Structure 1
């Protein structure tokens, strides 16, 4: 059995939509949908690998989704990304995330923040609890992601750039594009 993480889902995305999306690749044994992410379990590793490769950046309900093998909740530290945070608010942001667990580092670069949490369970709790909440009175935390496998892309770019990213397929193209823009 292979567990697959699906991120950047629109809230209106239904479990049945995900099951139907993955079914052509192989048997879906389980599907659990949360606010903006889900987990799909598939029987066959080759089928799951093909689904991951072909469905990454696929659009559902107008949003390109992130599809990757699940790391599991207890596998090491996680870095969370938060968009539209002004410099100088590191302490407040750290205190906010410390309500859910240990924060090893909190840094703000340009207009986005990185919050490092050594315990993945605590990071997932923060991710679930803080999604669609406000910080600094007017900044809506709407996209918190695990740091592995290019999740930073969704924070670095506005929706206008997100459509462009669906056509960019390699890490080199992505890094080159980011360096050019910033």
Structure 2
């Protein structure tokens, strides 16, 4: 399941606050909190879509900050199912030496 990105909440926000907020849209499998943002995993993708529609740009917390809620992007903005993934690339004969 693809995670939902949630950002722009206050630093005092706890995991339980986000779990409660997102649970209004369906069963939340887990919430991975990082520094200033979180990834929310839903059991059903339709619930995740509903949460994105309902919570993006919604005021939240004591300061009523506008949340940023959207589908999480893959590594460096690429989706994980990209046809150029590491498994599909040919091996090279280049050796990189650092701190020589």
> Which sections of structure 2, spanning at least 5 residues, go unmatched?
79-100
Normalised to the residue count of structure 1, the TM-score between the two structures is 0.40
Contact 1:5/1:67, CA 8 A, preserved across alignment: yes
1:14 matched to which residue of 2? 14
Normalised to the residue count of structure 2, the TM-score between the two structures is 0.70
**Runs of 4+ that moved beyond 4 A:** none
2:73 matched to which residue of 1? 71
2:30 matched to which residue of 1? 30
SS in 1 for 2:75: coil
Partners in 2 of 1:32 and 1:11 — Cα distance?
A: 14
Q: CA deviation at 1:74?
A: 4.6
Which structure carries more helix by proportion?
Answer: 1
Cα RMSD, aligned residues only: 1.3
Aligned positions, number: 76
- Cα deviation, 1:143-173, whole Å, max 9, x if unaligned, reads xxxxxxxxxxxxxxxxxxxxxxxxxxxxxxx
Partners in 2 of 1:71 and 1:17 — Cα distance?
A: 23
Partners in 1 of 2:74 and 2:19 — Cα distance?
A: 20
1:39 matched to which residue of 2? 39
2:94 matched to which residue of 1? none
- Cα deviation, 1:103-162, whole Å, max 9, x if unaligned, reads xxxxxxxxxxxxxxxxxxxxxxxxxxxxxxxxxxxxxxxxxxxxxxxxxxxxxxxxxxxx
Contact 1:2/1:43, CA 8 A, preserved across alignment: no
SS in 2 for 1:67: strand
> Which sections of structure 1, spanning at least 5 residues, go unmatched?
77-182
SS in 2 for 1:29: strand
Partners in 2 of 1:31 and 1:13 — Cα distance?
A: 12
Partners in 1 of 2:14 and 2:48 — Cα distance?
A: 20
